[in-house]
Structure 1
Amino acid sequence: MFVTILHGDGRTEMMNLNCRLINFIHHLKEKSGVDFKDCVDLMDSRGHVVELRAQQRSLAAASSVLAERQRYVLLRVCRDDGSGSHKYVPLLNNYSQSHPELIGLLKKLANPGKPSKQGRMQRTKNISSCDKKQ
Structure 2
Amino acid sequence: MFVTILFGDSKMEMFNLNCKLINFLHHLKEQCGLDFKECVDLMDSSGRVMNLEGKQQSTALTSSVLEERQYYVLLRVCRDDDTGGRKYVSLLNNFSQSHPELTELLRKLSNPDKERGRKIRGGRTQRSKQTRSKNISENDSRHQKK
Relative to the length of structure 2, the TM-score reads 0.72
Is contact 1:6–1:92 with CA below 8 Å preserved after alignment? yes
Q: How many residues align?
A: 115
**Based on CA coordinates, which of the two structures has the bigger radius of gyration?**
2
User: 70-79 or 104-113, which moves further after superposition?
Assistant: 104-113
The residue aligned with 2:49 is 49
Instruction: Give the partner amino acid of 2:78.
Output: C
Deviation at 1:41, TM superposition (A): 0.5
Question: Structure 2: any 5+ residue segments left out of the alignment?
Answer: 119-146
The residue aligned with 2:26 is 26
Instruction: Give the partner amino acid of 2:97.
Output: Q
Structure 1 stretches (4+) deviating beyond 2 angstroms? 96-115
Is contact 1:46–1:105 with CA below 8 Å preserved after alignment? no
> Within 1, Cα distance between the matches of 2:49 and 2:16?
19
> Within 2, Cα distance between the matches of 1:81 and 1:108?
17
What percent of counterpart residues are identical?
68
> Within 2, Cα distance between the matches of 1:82 and 1:38?
20
Question: Structure 1: any 5+ residue segments left out of the alignment?
Answer: 116-134
* 2:60 match: secondary structure: coil
